[in-house]
Chains A and B, each alone.
Chain A
Amino acid sequence: QKEVEQDPGPLSVPEGAIVSLNCTYSNSAFQYFMWYRQYSRKGPELLMYTYSSGNKEDGRFTAQVDKSSKYISLFIRDSQPSDSATYLCASRETSGSRLTFGEGTQLTVNP
């Protein structure tokens, strides 16, 4: 079993829709949870991170972690065509430097 699992999609939504992206993880030692955005043929860039359980909001983006169910979510409100990209969730332990990535979900927002 992979330590971080993510539905690869693809996911296609109309402009303005609310997008929900999700991951599950199995390692109870994971404390940091990240979402990276990767445009086609580019390197990933960090979008948001959260520590332990809870919500974090940044503009149209909300990251949510539920440690009791080992569930990680990213919500995008008022989605735009420029949000079209692959979204990767990642997790790591408190003391470690290694990130464990999900497979990535390919999102297309149609104008």
Chain B
Amino acid sequence: DGGITQSPKYLFRKEGQNVTLSCEQNLNHDAMYWYRQDPGQGLRLIYYSQIVNDFQKGDIAEGYSVSREKKESFPLTVTSAQKNPTAFYLCASSIRPGLAGGNNEQFFGPGTRLTVL
């Protein structure tokens, strides 16, 4: 079964703690993305990576960090510096832009709901 998996589905964090959200894909996609979704604000891009060992900040990168050591994996760490981390986090992947000759559709995982206690 090809697809994107995210774990855990629900995560609770105490204030001041760092937490890491997992994202794995077996679609052989080069590009991976992390979004945050809040009510009434749609999806906002946190970080994205177009190739292994390289990543770029999105629109709301402050308080987050990522790594891309393997093609299949793109974990997101929510640090204690993120002041309002309670949200629904979505990971996505796509083929590398420019290779498709058309639309490089982003496929989304099921999401992780993070709540700060």
Q: Can you list, as one digit per residue, whether each of B92-117 has a CB less than 8 Å from chain A (1) or not (0)?
A: 10101110001111111111010000
Give the contacting residue for B103; candidates A6, A8, A51; CB below 8 A: A51
Give the docked Cα–Cα distance between A51 and B104 (Å): 12
Mark B15-31 against chain A: 1 for CB-CB distance below 8 A, else 0: 00000000000000001
B103 engages A43 (CB within 8 Å): no
A residues less than 8 Å from B40 (CB atoms): 8, 103
Mark out the residues of chain B between 10 and 51 whose CB falls within 8 Å of any chain A CB in the assembled complex: 31, 40-45, 48, 50
Among A11-19, A77-85, A93-101, the stretch that binds chain B is A93-101
How far, in Å, is A10 (CB) from chain B's closest CB?
11
The reply to whether B106 and A43 contact each other, CB–CB distance below 8 Å, is no
Q: Are B103 and A88 in contact (CB under 8 A)?
A: no
Q: What CA separation (Å) do A99 and B74 show in the bound complex?
A: 18
Question: Interface size for chain A: under 10, 10 to 19, 20 to 34, or 35 or more residues?
Answer: 20 to 34
Which of A32, A45, A99 is packed against the most chain B CB atoms within 10 Å?
A99
CB distance from A2 to the nearest CB of B (A): 9
Measured CA separation A35–B116 after assembly (Å): 31
Interface residues, chain A, CB within 8 Å of chain B?
4, 6, 8, 32, 34, 36, 41-46, 49, 51, 88, 90, 95-99, 101-104
Q: Residues on B close to A: CB < 8 A?
A: 4, 31, 40-45, 48, 50, 58, 90, 92, 94, 96-98, 102-111, 113
Q: Which 6 A-B pairs have the closest CB atoms?
A: A43-B108, A97-B97, A101-B42, A103-B42, A101-B43, A49-B103
